[in-house]
């Protein structure tokens, strides 16, 4: 059977004649969704309310005609019945990307189907379909966008892409590292022997000291590469994140001079223990702290916060139980924030990439290792930063992180 667009009128337009294109107020339906419709359109109202996708419809005179709960949640907006009939540019003022999509709907003959977009400033990824709303004469009287939060899907795909890249990169890096490690060790040993023979020649001794130090630096990078490419095998036990954070501060201070940097901690009382590898978590948080200390260069503040949260869910399922009837998984949210110089967007997008660094002598593996450890614990890490506004890393760890390793 061939669909005829003129026979499928949008709920926002149902109950109106083809010439009446202005939105009409209606009693808000159950829940917090707003739909411009008459009392006889209950069936179509319930279709919109029951969708697990966001639904947003506007009239040709640029007014909001329909918006369901899921759309409000995806766009981080508070449901308000008075939104119906208002210019959608006012309702969506905090979502310029969605405004741009809707504005283009009336100028394009062929609308995008199954397109994707990253919303700013939330960073959520949505997949959307944009359609014209046609009246009985086939004339456009509005537009509707159906969209779904693909943030979790995007994260999983990015993890798979990262694992694929690391697998091929790891084989090459491991081979190179093994080949380089032996000559470096030989250079260091022979330079040490030669230094003892020319102890009476200060210039020669100083030069040999430089050779030995550079060989040690190169060897440390090689060891870091080998550690990075080696698969993580978690040694899981019940772990106190509070103790891990205190130990990580001490570990970071042993590697980087703290100077006048102030480190503050704001940790919720009675945080639950989590199933995790304490050694790996210690390395994770010490690497983040080292990164902040190096950025501050001896002046500034680092704030560490930790509390209980919930795993990120699609807005359509927010507040609901999981398919097996259990509530959403509990998580710990740990943030490491500094008031340093921050980073421009092009740098922030690449900081977790292996071997990418802005430091003169950095290996570019510190944050890549952090990402790898977080992934091994089924967690998530994100960064917020801007030039002159500091940097904040947020790590989300399931309370049951690594639980499969216990069985």
- CATH code for position 185: 1.10.287
| Cα–Cα separations (whole angstroms), residue 329 to 272, 305, 309, 319, 378 | 13, 20, 9, 11, 12
Q: Please check whether residue 374 is in contact with residue 283, taking contact to mean a CB–CB distance below 8 angstroms.
A: no
Answer yes or no: do 145 and 160 share one domain. Answer: no
**DSSP string for 30-46:** STT-EE---GGGHHHHH
Model pTM above 0.75: no
CATH value at residue 37: 3.30.450.20
- Nearest residue to 13 (alpha-carbon basis) of 133, 145, 138, 146: 133
* pLDDT of res. 246: 94
* pLDDT of res. 129: 87
Answer yes or no: do 16 and 61 share one domain. Answer: yes
Answer yes or no: do 369 and 282 share one domain. Answer: yes
- Listed in sequence order, the residues at least 6 apart from 88 whose beta carbon sits closer than 8 Å to its beta carbon are 56, 58, 62, 63, 64, 99, 102
Answer yes or no: do 326 and 248 share one domain. Answer: yes
What digits encode the pLDDT tens for the residues 292-341?
999 998 899 999 999 988 655 555 445 444 444 455 568 899 999 999 99
Number of independent structural domains in the chain: 3
- Nearest residue to 173 (alpha-carbon basis) of 333, 307, 371, 369: 369
Answer yes or no: do 50 and 175 share one domain. Answer: no
Answer yes or no: do 110 and 158 share one domain. Answer: no
- Nearest residue to 36 (alpha-carbon basis) of 46, 51, 26: 26
Tell me which residue range forms the domain holding 140: 5-149
**Rg over CA atoms, the chain:** 28
What digits encode the pLDDT tens for the residues 41-75?
677 777 776 777 888 889 988 999 888 888 998 88
- Listed in sequence order, the residues at least 6 apart from 207 whose beta carbon sits closer than 8 Å to its beta carbon are none
Partners of residue 391 on adjacent β-strands: 338, 385
Which residues, given as ranges, of the chain have pLDDT below 70? 1-41, 49, 109, 155, 159, 162-163, 165-170, 310-329, 360-363, 401-407
Q: Please check whether residue 56 is in contact with residue 62, taking contact to mean a CB–CB distance below 8 angstroms.
A: no
* pLDDT of res. 165: 67
Q: Please check whether residue 35 is in contact with residue 56, taking contact to mean a CB–CB distance below 8 angstroms.
A: no
Q: What are phi and psi of 204, to 5 degrees?
A: -65, -40
């Amino acid at each position: 059977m061939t669909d005829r667009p003129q026979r499928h009128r949008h709920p926002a337009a149902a109950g109106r004649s083809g010439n009446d294109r202005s939105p009409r107020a209606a009693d808000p339906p159950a829940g917090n969704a707003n739909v411009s419709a008459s009392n006889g359109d209950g069936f179509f109202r319930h279709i919109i309310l029951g969708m697990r996708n966001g639904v947003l419809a506007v009239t040709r005179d640029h007014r909001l005609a329909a918006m369901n709960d899921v759309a409000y949640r995806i766009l981080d907006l508070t449901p308000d019945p008075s939104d119906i009939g208002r210019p959608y540019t006012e309702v969506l003022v905090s979502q310029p990307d969605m405004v741009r999509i809707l504005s283009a709907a009336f100028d394009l003959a062929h609308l995008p189907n199954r397109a994707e977009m990253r919303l700013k400033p939330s960073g959520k990824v949505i997949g959307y379909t944009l359609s014209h709303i046609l009246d009985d004469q086939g004339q456009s009287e509005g537009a509707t966008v159906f969209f779904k939060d693909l943030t979790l899907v995007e994260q999983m795909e990015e993890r798979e892409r990262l694992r694929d890249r690391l697998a091929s990169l790891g084989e090459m890096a491991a081979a190179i590292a093994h080949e380089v490690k032996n000559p470096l060790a030989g250079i260091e040993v022979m330079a040490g022997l030669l230094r003892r023979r020319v102890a009476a020649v200060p210039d020669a001794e100083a030069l040999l000291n430089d050779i030995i130090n550079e060989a040690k630096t190169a060897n440390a990078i090689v060891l870091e590469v080998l550690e990075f490419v080696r698969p993580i095998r978690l040694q899981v036990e019940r772990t106190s994140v509070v103790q891990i954070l205190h130990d990580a501060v001490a570990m970071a201070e042993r590697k980087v001079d703290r100077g006048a940097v102030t480190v503050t901690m704001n940790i919720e009382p009675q945080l639950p223990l989590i199933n995790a590898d304490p050694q790996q978590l210690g390395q994770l948080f010490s690497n983040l702290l080292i990164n902040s200390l190096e950025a501050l260069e001896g002046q500034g503040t680092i704030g560490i916060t930790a509390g209980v949260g919930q795993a990120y869910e699609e807005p359509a399922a927010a507040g609901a139980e999981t398919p097996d009837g259990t509530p959403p998984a509990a998580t710990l949210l740990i943030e490491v924030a500094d008031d340093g110089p921050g980073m421009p967007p092009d740098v922030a997008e690449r900081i977790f990439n292996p071997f990418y660094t802005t430091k003169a002598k950095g290996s570019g593996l510190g944050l890549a290792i952090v990402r790898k450890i977080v992934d091994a614990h089924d967690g998530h890490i994100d960064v917020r930063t801007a030039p002159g506004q500091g940097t904040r890393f947020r790590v989300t760890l399931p309370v049951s992180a690594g639980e499969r390793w216990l069985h």
